[in-house]
Structure 1
Amino acid sequence: MSKDKNVAMSKFIFCSLFGIFMFFVPISIEGKSSIPLDHIVSWILKIPYYRETYGLILCFLGVILPFWKGTWNKSRVKMIFSILNIAALPFILMAVFHIGPKALLEKDMIPFIYSKIVVPVTTIVPVGSVFLAFIISYGLMEFVGVFMRPIMKPIFKTPGRSAIDAVASFVGSYSIALLITNGVYREGKYTSKEACIIATGFSTVSATFMIIVAKTLGFMENHWLAYFWTTVFVTFLVTAITARIYPLSQKSDMYFQGIQGNIEQDVPKNKWNIALQEAIRVSANSPTIFENTKINLLEGFKLAFNMAPSLMAVGTLGLILAKYTPLFDVVGYIFYPFTFVIGISEPLLAAKALAMSIAEMFLPAVPVAEASMVTKFIVGVSCVSEILFFSASIPCMLSTDIPLTMKDYFIIWFERVALSILITAPFAYLIFG
């Protein structure tokens, strides 16, 4: 092997192992088991006055910059959200200075959006960007793609390398997975359709957040594993179905901004050798670690600027609608035929609870906390597998380059919830009789 190949091989091995460690290997520190990236973010969040100053600065800059740069009216969606994001300014002041209407300052309203979503998500995005290159730029995705293509392509209509995104969500979070998806899409390794399928099909909340849902619904003591693995199975089965129906089936097969795509090839034999060759080729042509880190960090902060006001404004407005208006009681009737046909004892309660999932994925767990185990299980699985919600994942997706419209989000959300109800029901009856 030539010297250049040795260098490329070393870069592939060490960079990939470091990336896997940072994003996928849980370690225990001070009694908390999580991935190293999450531990770093946790340490940052403990810096005195960090939460108050970082979120405040980010939201203000995120609102002002589109108008300063003249990009606020670049598209209809951008214009709507640039104007809507102005609502983030009073909300952020309420959160930081604890002033404003008492109803909005309750712990499950503005403080929840700011402390549990805005600051952690917008911290993990730039920090995660620093380590993103180790996952996407030195051959790991190409190496994994050779082995996973026979599984991912026929089932999900996505490249083998998208398996990385799927794993990233469960061990990290949707923000990490979207960071990876957007980076890979911009590099021409996903088509528009593939990026849309991956973003709306694999960007789940983390397993850690699933524990919170399981605790609320009483599954942790005896049914955690059944709940976790059913949720994983249902989420991926629903994704396999939505990839084949409107609107995802109609998305373009073009690559980002018309660039030439990096297409995975079928590899019938010698997979190990081909995978290694692909990884070495990518590693040899990649920029330096410093250059990659600098580029990704800048992209991460740009993404965080876009996310912060959207998360604050849209998240708060969604919770206001859920808590103080009958909107979701009315919307719940669209799911009533599905909850009725599966024969659960509280079909209307489950339908109304799941309607709230579009505002915030955790909300459906609250009204069904005292319901039957079958109802709780169906709602608990569905509120994770639905993936799309306005307090976090949708604003995150809107801040990326992934070409999804508001109409797409609503249709895919409905499809995912309806399918999740129907698919989860047999498991619920099997487990709880």
Structure 2
Amino acid sequence: MIPKKSRELQLELKSSYNRALFLFLFGSLSGIVIFFVKINGKFPFEIMYKALLSGLGGAARYIILIYPILMLAGFIYAKKYSDESSRIYQFFKEDKKFHGIVYALSSVLAIMIYLQAGISMLYGDKAAGFMVTEILPYTITIIPVGGAVLPLLASFGLLDVIGGVLEPIMRPAFKVPGKSALDTIASVVGAAVVGIFLTASLYKEKHYTTKEALSIATGFSLNSVGYCAFCVGYVGLIDKFNIMFLMYLVITYLISAIMVRLYPIRKYPDVYVDGSIQTDEMRTENVSFNVAQIKKGYYNAIRKADSSEGLAKEVSRGFVKGIGVSMQVVPMMLAIGGVFLAINEFTPVFEILSKPFIPIISLLGVPEPVIAAQAIFVGGLDLFLPSAVIGPALVPDATKFFVVMISLMQVLYITETMLPIIFFGIPAKFKDLLIIWFMRTVIAMPFVAACMHLVY
């Protein structure tokens, strides 16, 4: 028998209560299994995107190289020749001249990589070539698979239940909604870019304000447990991975609680994507634990499931959307990430910029502060680079511990997270992301140094 409240709710629903309940339970449980239940030691999400990558095989490289050219051609056609009601115009509607320049630059790089001719310092395996072989293959598979399965978390009510339960914790501590806990879980289990994709999608659906979306994307889009283990293992510290990962989570969340209260995140408005302002009442209505709040979350979940278009449509639409997003992001990552990697490899710019870190690291008692500073600074480009720099170096394990831990806690990397934050649609300024990266790095140093002295 359907409870009284549920019968009242039935009057609001466009379909039956039982259908909405089924979608909520089946969709949410499917999402939980895919992201949180290991099968043969691996999460299904990881199995899915790696299976897609394996299925693509050598074609992945050509897909990466063709995306920029397709985007450049589409951009020119949309802006010059298409009708405003056409799909191609809508796809490129928000792109500016800057996007066209990036599409053009990435197309040139793609042609140079394919032909293995041109400016070698730009297309080589230390620059744009590195993006094509090491980073972008995961981008073109993780984002579409993430687009397909994230609706299981967001479109059938699980988000509403989690939000109702965790709001009393997340709001006072981090100044973000309780539902943002799913963003960080999606990151840790899947990849940081998956968490950013989810955050950007929820921002566009008016779940988060601009400030909340930026805070979540820069503080909760953590590195996946698998990639963390890879970086730790690369420098020879895999035997300490469990304690390092625990320290990583605790300190990272502490830093996130600090950063949301500081400039530049603090200056961003609590305004939703449609321009409406978040009121004080909205921020305080669900900040205490009670049964009524949990019930409210449940009934909101039923309404959400009822408003969905069904499992097949939501999943397939999410997959197609993910392909479109990856087509937009790949050229940006190839062009901008490739250029920054070339600057790092062939100029002393990053070595010079890392020098202010040396006295801080030395003061904290970290052995070999010069090489540690250089390794940490290149973390702003890519998560793996600090491990690549410090791994083969003849330095104490304490230095390797310090460098790897800092690199994980930086969260922001130009090639993997900063560019997706911007191009997924979160209205963040690039210079602010660089400032946040620098602040996170400096704030993390004393905490990590204290852990280093405890371990070594």
User: Which protein shows a greater Rg?
Assistant: 2
Specify the alignment match of 1:310 in structure 2. 332
2-structure distance, mates of 1:74, 1:410: 27
User: Percent identical across equivalent pairs?
Assistant: 27
The aligned residue for residue 301 of structure 1 is 323
**What's the counterpart of residue 435 of structure 2?**
411
Q: Is the 8 A contact 1:63 1:309 kept in 2?
A: no
Report the Cα offset of residue 389 of structure 1.
Answer: 1.4
Q: Residues 345-373 of structure 1, C-alpha deviation per residue, up to 9 Å, x if partnerless?
A: 22222222211111212112233233222
Q: Distance in 1 between matches of 2:415 and 2:437?
A: 14
| Aligned 1:278-293 pairs, distance under 5 A | 278-293=300-315
**In 1: Cα distance, 2:65 partner to 2:276 partner:** 37
Give the Cα–Cα distance (whole angstroms) in 2 for the partners of residues 50 and 165 of structure 1.
31
1:55–1:308: 8 Å Cα contact kept in structure 2?
A: yes
Judge conservation of contact 2:354–2:377 (CA < 8 Å) in 1. Answer: yes
The TM-score normalised by the length of structure 1 is 0.91
CA contact 2:333–2:419 (8 Å) conserved in 1? yes
Give the corresponding residue for 2:83. none
* CA deviation after TM superposition for structure 1 residue 260, in Å: 8.1
Matched with 1:22 is: 34
Q: Is 1:394–2:418 an aligned residue pair?
A: yes
Q: Which residue of 2 aligns with 1:56?
A: 65
Could you tell me how far apart the structure 1 residues matched to 2:17 and 2:115 are? 57
Note if 1:207 corresponds to 2:225. Answer: yes
Match of 1:10 in 2: 22
Alignment deviations for residues 358-415 of structure 1 (CA, whole Å, 9 cap, x no partner):
1212112233233222221121011111111122211211211111001111110100
What CA distance in whole angstroms lies between the structure 2 residues aligned with 1:180 and 1:275?
20
3-state SS, counterpart of residue 371 of structure 1: coil
Cα distance in 1 between the residues matched to 2:103 and 2:346: 21
| Deviation at residue 298 of structure 1 after TM alignment | 4.0
| Cα offsets for 1:86-118 (capped at 9, x unmatched) | 222233234445445665665454443112211
Residues of 1 paired with 2:139 and 2:223: CA distance? 12
Q: 1:73 to 1:293 in 2, by over 3 A?
A: closer
Rate the CA distance shift 1:65–1:422 in 2: closer, same or farther, 3 A. Answer: farther
How many Å separate the matches in 1 of 2:157 and 2:289? 20
**1:216 has 2:234 as partner:** yes
Correspondence 1:430 to 2:439:
no
* Mapped partners of 1:65, 1:249: distance in 2: 37
2:381 touches 2:413 (CA, 8 Å); kept in 1?
Answer: yes
**Counterpart residue number, 2:407:** 383
How many angstroms apart in 1 are the aligned matches of 2:99 and 2:227?
Answer: 27
Q: Which residue type is aligned with residue 164 of structure 2?
A: V
Deviations 1:326-356 (A, max 9, x none): 0111110232342132122222222222111
> CA separation of 1:257/1:26 partners in 2, compared to 1, >3 Å: closer, same or farther?
same
Residue of structure 1 equivalent to 2:192: 174
Shift of 1:84: 3.2
Q: Is the 8 A contact 1:173 1:206 kept in 2?
A: yes
- Give, in whole Å, the separation in 1 of the partners of 2:234 and 2:338: 22
Change (3 A) 1:64 1:393: farther
Aligned pair partner of 1:65 in 51, 57, 74: 74
Task: Give the C-alpha shift of residue 74 in structure 1.
Answer: 8.2
Asked whether the 8 Å contact 1:92–1:114 carries over to 2, the reply is no
One of 83, 86, 99 as aligned partner of 2:104:
86
Give the letter for the 1:37 counterpart.
F
- Note if 1:37 corresponds to 2:45: yes
Compared CA separation, residues 209 and 364, structure 1 to 2 (3 A): same
Q: Which residue of 1 aligns with 2:86?
A: none
Cα distance in 1 for partners of 2:116, 2:35 equals 35
**RMSD of Structure 2 on Structure 1 (CA):** 2.5
C-alpha displacement of 1:244:
0.6
Specify the code of the residue in structure 2 equivalent to 1:280: I
1:328 alignment counterpart: 350
2:35–2:189 contact (8 Å) kept in structure 1: yes
Out of 296-305 and 192-201, give the one that drifted further: 296-305
The answer as to whether partners of 1:190 and 1:261 remain within 8 angstroms in 2 is no
Instruction: Judge conservation of contact 2:200–2:424 (CA < 8 Å) in 1.
Output: yes
* Alignment deviations for residues 243-274 of structure 1 (CA, whole Å, 9 cap, x no partner): 11001011111111326879574153114433
Q: How far apart are the structure 2 equivalents of 1:377 and 1:388?
A: 19
Distance 1:235 1:66, change over 3 A: farther
- Aligned partners of 1:268, 1:212: CA distance in 2, in Å? 39
For residues 140 and 245 of structure 2, what CA distance do their matches in structure 1 show? 27
Q: Which amino acid aligns with 1:228?
A: F
Which stretch shows the higher mean deviation, 257-266 or 77-86? 257-266
> Partners of 1:325 and 1:230 in 2: how far apart?
34
Structure-2 residue corresponding to 1:138: 156
Relative to 1, partners in 2 of residues 1:74 and 1:293: Cα closer, same or farther, differing over 3 Å? Answer: closer
In the alignment, the residues of structure 2 paired with residue 135 and residue 147 of structure 1 have an alpha-carbon distance, to the nearest angstrom, of 15
CA contact (8 A) 2:69 2:103 kept: no
Q: Report how far residue 308 of structure 1 moved.
A: 0.8
Q: What amino acid sits opposite 1:170 in the alignment?
A: V
Question: Does residue 1:352 correspond to 2:369, yes or no?
Answer: no
Aligned to 2:82: none
Where does residue 13 of structure 2 map in the other structure? none
What SS does structure 2 have at the residue aligned with 1:131?
Answer: helix
- TM-score, structure 2 as length reference: 0.86
SS in 2 for 1:391: helix
Q: Tell me the equivalent position of 2:183.
A: 165
Aligned-partner Cα distance in 2 for 1:23–1:375:
34
**Residues 67-94 of structure 1: CA deviation (Å, up to 9, x unaligned):** 332389988x954343134222233234
Greater shift after overlay, 293-302 or 120-129?
293-302
Q: Does residue 191 of the first structure (1) align with residue 209 of the second (2)?
A: yes
Do the aligned partners of 1:188 and 1:259 also contact (CA within 8 Å) in 2?
A: no
Aligned partner of 1:147: which letter? V
Q: Does the CA-based 8 Å contact 1:332-1:355 persist in structure 2?
A: yes
